[in-house]
Chains A and B, each alone.
Chain A
Amino acid sequence: MEIVYPIVYKGKSIGTIKAGFFTSSVHAFVNQVMTLYLGVLGSTILVTLLIARSFLRHTTRPIVTLTRIADEISVGNLDMDILFGKRVNCWEIKQCGRKDCAAYTNTAVQCWFVDGTPCEGYEPKFPQKLEGCRKCEVYKTHKGDEIVQLADSFQHMIYIIKSSQVELEKFHKFQSNMIQNSLVGIIAMNEVGVVNIFNRVAESLTGYREPEVVDRLTLNDFFSEDIAVKIQRPLIYDYGIVLRGFKPAETDILNKDKEPIPVRLSGINLYEKEDHLGKVFFFQDLREIKRLRQELIQSERLSATGQAVASISHAIKNILDGLFGGVYIYKRGTRINNEKDTQKGWRMIEKNIGLISELVINLLNYAKERKPIFQKCDPRGIVEDVIETMENKARNNNINMASEYEGDFDNVYLDPQALHQCLINLVSNAIDASPVGRQGHVVVRLESKNGQGIIIEVSDNGMGMSKEVYDNIFQGMVSTKGSTGTGLGLLVVKKIVEEHGGTIVVKSEENKGSSFKIRLPKMPTNDPHVRVSDTP
């Protein structure tokens, strides 16, 4: 390569200088420099790559992994093994043998995250215990950088979430169990009235199955309009106070066939602070309770019957004496040809046969649960029948019997057998109460109240009752009749009146007389339990 430079003197080019060097040496120099430059660059890049790779391995990848793990956790997958750093088993290092410790053989989480480890001198709970744990040989063995610590924290978090989940599941199961196995029907609805809880009792009472109801049916599918309004009232402001629930009330729930089922219903509104979350209704099948109530009354009656066995057997013994006596005297009469004795004996036999029949019938009536069978009948005929039956007894006791009728008896429905039994018992008692020293009267009065039922009244002018007797006549086996009385007759009357849904009122005055007034309502027309017979 040549460089030509002109020489200029006083503005005139006077010549040129030529300098030259060989390009090959320049080329060689430049090549050298280029090579060096490239080498340095390459090394730098290589080193950088190596550093970057190392960084990637220690930092970015773990973070990516942790991010992926976090994503998994967020979708509910908690079963991942996060191992960053060296796994340490504290029980192997410490050789403590403390099997009671929660960290013993616990590979799910490192021991410094576990609360209540009995290692000496450390705070029991995380994170307070961490400061102490860091001094521990176990921790130091594990020892990791910040990324490892972050991973450890993740592991701890997952451990806590899992434990909470287990607790939550247990609680949920328990609650679900409680709701399903409750003896009470439970229906819960959200704030818009859609059912979200429907337990087994609710299923069996309504006939719906849970899947048919939850998230599908609402309050109006279970309650008629007027009832729905009533039970939703608590939501309405009342004098500025929102009522949270309502007391148990007897009402109806509609079953699958839209039939009303009688239940005892109570309910509450659920609130979270001021937000209305929904309603819960609790109900009991009243049909069952009504049946149990009847059974209880029946069993009380039976147990009273059992208790009364002594009293009844006493009455029976007296009746037997009357029969034996009658036979003895009758036989004596025939033996010595004494007609007075034979008649006397025979009367005794007849009388006591009557007494035992009465006792047995009353006992059976009392012990047996019997629903009235309503028939169209004229009660006046029954009254006349009873008077005729009791004629002998009345005559023997010097009693005058009479009957009185008032009203229209063409359209009367009642249970004739029940009425007959009531009258027999009341009239028999009235005769037994016959006064001493004056003419006795027993009056049976019937009154028909325009098809609204009938009134039956049996009154006498006999001994009457003392206050003590009066207070106890329907309580149990109370009798003023000494040995033969059992008090059963009146208990039967009370039972029959109750079965008819009627009432009985007793008035009495000592030495003046008594009256028993029974009101029988007209036959209920819409009661499905009422039996009506067409045959007279």
Chain B
Amino acid sequence: MGSLEREDIRRRAVVIDDEEDLTTYLSAILEENGFSVRTANNAEDGERLIREDTPDLICLDLLMPGKTGINLFLRLRRREEPLKDVPLIIITGIKEQINVDWKDIVSRCKARVPDGFIEKPVTPQRLMRVVNDVLKGECRDRVQFG
């Protein structure tokens, strides 16, 4: 696995998923790849982590109890939100989420589309490919899929 870290600064990531095993797993992969990771198993804690120290990357599970995941996503990506430009990857177990008409969501909810998707079950290779493509910022208009 290639490391994109600079020696003095590790990029910071926040991983939010109600499944503890998954946050442990993603956290392990990202750490191996030069990230320092904070995790949360519910939307409330996750939002707190993001706001107290703006990360370089957010990995968010939409399907959390209640509609907390979706609501958090909409809050973080709405037009007035200063954090809306933080690169955000959706972790998803249901393929349909990827095929959702995000353009429609964007226009109706006035929210920025996610920058990337990673589909469960996650493999280190796929995750890092999406993360790297998203952070390169080369294709900010296009959504990256993994």
Contact = CB atoms under 8 A, between A and B. Distances in A.
Contact of B93 (A314, A324, A352): A314
A318 B26 CA distance: 12
Interface stretch (B3-11, B15-23, B81-89, B129-137): B15-23
B25 A325 contact: yes
Interface in A286-333: 310, 313-314, 317-318, 320-322, 324-326, 328-329, 332
Nearest to A310: B94
Contacts of B122: 321, 324
Contacts of B64: 482-483
B103 interface: no
Interface string A378-402: 0000000000000000000000000
A313 B94 CA distance: 9
Given A322-B19, A351-B21, A483-B93, A317 B28 contact: no
Interface string B105-133: 00000000000000011111000000000
B28 A325 contact: yes
B65 interface: yes
Contact of A483 (B28, B29, B61): B61
B97 to A, nearest CB: 10
Contacts of A320: 120-121
A13 B12 CA distance: 200
B120 A318 contact: yes
B72 interface: no
Contact of B63 (A313, A352, A483): A483
A484 B24 CA distance: 15
B63 A328 contact: no
Contacts of A454: none
Residue of A324, A329, A481 with most partner-chain B CB within 10 A:
A324
B22 A321 contact: yes
B19 A328 contact: no
Contacts of B94: 310, 314
Nearest to B96: A310
B32 interface: yes
Contacts of B32: 332
Contact of B25 (A317, A321, A482): A321
A326 B32 CA distance: 15
Interface residues of B, number: 22
A321 B121 contact: yes
Contacts of B61: 483
Main secondary structure of the interface of A (DSSP, over half): helix
Given A314-B94, A482-B64, A483-B19, A324 B121 contact: yes
Contact of B19 (A313, A326, A482): A482
A187 interface: no
A482 B68 CA distance: 10
Interface in A316-372: 317-318, 320-322, 324-326, 328-329, 332, 344, 348, 351-352
Interface in B53-92: 61, 63-65
Interface size class on chain A is: 20 to 34
A318 B24 CA distance: 12
Contact of B120 (A317, A329, A348, A481): A317
A350 to B, nearest CB: 11
Contacts of A352: 21
Contacts of A317: 93, 120-121
Nearest to B94: A314
Contact of A348 (B24, B65, B93, B124): B24
A484 B93 CA distance: 11
Contacts of B19: 318, 321-322, 482-484
Contacts of A314: 63, 93-94
A316 to B, nearest CB: 9
Contacts of A482: 18-19, 63-65
A329 B22 contact: no
A480 interface: yes
Contacts of B28: 325, 328-329, 332
B121 A480 contact: no
Nearest to A326: B21
A228 to B, nearest CB: 62
B26 to A, nearest CB: 8
Interface in A245-267: none
Interface of B: 17-19, 21-22, 24-26, 28-29, 32, 61, 63-65, 93-94, 120-124
Given A310-B94, A317-B93, A344-B24, 13 more contacts: A314-B93, A317-B121, A318-B21, A318-B121, A320-B120, A322-B21, A326-B25, A328-B25, A332-B32, A348-B21, A348-B24, A483-B22, A483-B93
16 contacts: A314-B93, A317-B120, A318-B19, A318-B21, A321-B21, A321-B120, A321-B122, A322-B19, A324-B25, A324-B122, A324-B123, A325-B22, A328-B124, A482-B19, A483-B17, A483-B18
Closest 3 CB pairs of A and B: A325-B25, A482-B18, A322-B21
